[in-house]
Amino acid sequence: MAKKRFGDRKDGALIRDLDSMHFIMPHIFPNRCDNEAYISERIDLEAINKYVAKKNAENPDDFRYTMFHIIVAALIKTITLRPKMNRFIANKNYYQRNYVSAAFTIKKQFADDGAEGLAFLYAKDTDNVETVHEYIKKKVTDSRSNKNGSTEDSMDIMNKLPRFLSRFIIWIITKLDKHGICPKFLIESDPYYSSVILSNIGSIKLKCGYHHLANWGTNSVFCVIGEKKMTAVFDADGNMQMRETVDLGLTIDERLADGYYYSRTIKLLKKLLENPELLELPMSEEVEY
C-alpha cells in the first residue's frame, strides 16, 4: 500500500490526476443516488453448473459450492483487475479504495419475520474461488448461530436508545461519514462501505431487478442476482436450444469511468462466469478477454 498523503482517507487514496470532466462531475452531480447507471446481463449457466458439480464431487461437504460463490468470486476478480470499478466519490472528491471487498445479507430463517445478518468479505490478491467459498461458509455459519458482526451490534444498540439521542448520534455519524472519519467499529462490516454489494433475490424466487445505490458510505457497485430460468438460446447458425440462465442487474455510479471502461469490465465478468476455472487463479492474475 502506498504511503498516505495529505487528502487521503483511511479507506482510500485521493485521486489527483483526474481529467477536467471527471473533476467537475461531483460538483455538478454531487449525490451517488442521482448518478445510477444500470447494466443488465444474462449469463448462460452451463459452464457454471458443470464447474459447481465438479467442485462438489471433489470436495464432499455439507456446505456445497453454488452459483452464488462463483458470481462473488468473479465480481471480486473483475474489480481487482479493473481498478476504476473500485473507486468512490465522497465529499466531491474521487478516491481509490485501499481494499477490494464484497458484502451481502444472509437470511437466517426463510420466514416473513426471519432476521437478516451481514457478511463482509475483504479479499486479498492471493484469494481465489476456494478461499471465497470458505469465507462465505464461515460467515453463513456464524450468522445463523447469531455470531453477529460489529455493525449489526452497533445498530442494535442504537435502536435501543431514546429516539432523540439516537437521531442526534446518527446526525453526527453522517457528518463523519462525509469526511471519511467514521469509527472503524461502525463501518468495518457495513455493506455500504464495500466495493460491491450483492443481493441474491433468486434464492427467494424473485426475478432480477436493480437496487439503488446510497449516499451513505462509499459503495458504488450493486449486483442483483435473479432467479434461474430456462431460456431459448440461438447459436451462430440460428439453431435454438433451451439453456438454464440467470440475469444479473448491475447498478453503477456512472461518474467513476466512461462507457468503454464499463463495457470492457462487463466483457471480463462474462469471460470469468463462462470459464469459472479461471477463478482458481489468484485474484490479481491477469486473464485474456
pLDDT band at residue 59 under the 50/70/90 scheme: confident
pLDDT digits (tens, 9 = 90+) for 168-202: 888 898 899 888 888 887 788 889 999 999 999 99
Say yes or no: domain 39-148+193-280 is CATH 3.30.559.10. Answer: yes
pLDDT band at residue 222 under the 50/70/90 scheme: very high
**Which pLDDT score, from 0 to 100, does residue 268 have?**
98
SS3 188: coil
**Which pLDDT score, from 0 to 100, does residue 49 have?**
98
Amino acid identity for residue 212 in this structure = H
pLDDT at 114 over 80: no
pTM over 0.95: no
**Averaged pLDDT score across all residues of the chain:** 90
pLDDT at 105 over 80: yes
Give me the residue spans of the domains in the chain. Answer: 39-148+193-280, 150-188
Angle at 81 between CA 258 and CA 36, to 5 degrees: 35
Please give the Cα distance from 32 to 218 (Å, whole number): 9
C-alpha cell at 32: 451517488
SS3 112: coil
Please give the Cα distance from 113 to 131 (Å, whole number): 32
**Which pLDDT score, from 0 to 100, does residue 142 have?**
81
E-strand spans in 77-138? 87-90, 93-97, 100-107, 116-123
DSSP 260: H
The kind and range of the H/E element at 197 are: strand 196-200
